[in-house]
Structure 1
């Protein structure tokens, strides 16, 4: 009888002989490999999913910043979407960098057509180095076209502030003041990431579901190697949702994964700026 391998990330709802859940990431490419499509594929693979991708833009970037962005033509984005959905049984989708209103509309139309079971939207607007990745006039389009389709969105503090048109919060009390506005957004749930609260010794994230608020609070890893943390967290979340975990359990697992990945990345020096996290910390 052949030896049977059971993945430790496999959910109880998944039979061992079934293939891994297929998770699609729709995002931009990062030439340095630490964020975007590359980070998503690593995170999905490391957490037990099968990763496929639709590339919305090519970026020339490294750990120090973005030097050029080349948007993918709309016809090519549409061709990638149709190719993936027409052949692969996609269970879960993560959406990252889209860049402009036209791309948002193309992606939103495809998601309405193909209706994946789970959708995680990371409203990528600005990098950790301050580089803008979403045109200003596209924020309204993002709110009206894409957010209503999402099971959960995962903004960091600058992105949450941009969605609401307010100043970026710098203290815990200011973050909590955003909750009511975020709960009014037309989406099912919001996972707001508190990593930008650099003065805090801990790294809290808050899951807003209707009127409910749950805080996922862990000790902060003191490191400058945080390139791609938002991409990695949202991709891991999509992977766990695709495996059948509830939203709260998927968030808890994704939070644990990114914490361990940041810790692993803090021990490695890659590049001269903000280094990437260690996606495959469990692999020797």
Structure 2
């Protein structure tokens, strides 16, 4: 098996570059991609510079970014970057935003670095080597009862077909409100997955899956002892339709709750 940890120094180097830009530059002009979905000028700047940096240092590895799409050979190993995860938070001055750089082997996340530039924390993991926050080993929570659990949920949908998509999300939210300790919506999948890994939230539910959002966080959560799966309980991959995570004690109840909620929304 490949030791993907050999690529961690390069991943940190690329995220250092992105962090420096995010800490020193303003968001700049906004580009609206869809109804209420936007990218800042800085999103494009970070992605462009990180893409160029990694292509120069590791030309055999492909690249997938949220803003410019794919380049290079993406058949085996691919970097997956969200240059600013939580753009709306970022442009509103909220510190809940992140840089997320993952490495995917075919469809499986194998390495990840997530940096929270305004909270002073960096998370990283490589398959088989554990998960870390600022170089301290971290682990997922052991909460087993929904009533004791803090659950992070992904953003409600905007854009095309948002009303239909949000019927599902609202059904899940309604089901959660009567059963869990608290619900949190942070506006950044990278933060949700990193905090799942660190035990700051006990589970995470997001009814979509885009590799730039999830590649880094999935391997960090997995290496911290959490399970991250698709709606049917199969292991998460880039082909998954959703992203659901928790420890092995809590996850079965979360999946049952989601299934029940979606059935009710469809009725």
Q: Same fold (TM over 0.5)?
A: no
Which structure would you say has the larger RCO, counting Cα contacts within 8 Å and 6 or more residues apart? 1
TM-score (norm 1): 0.26
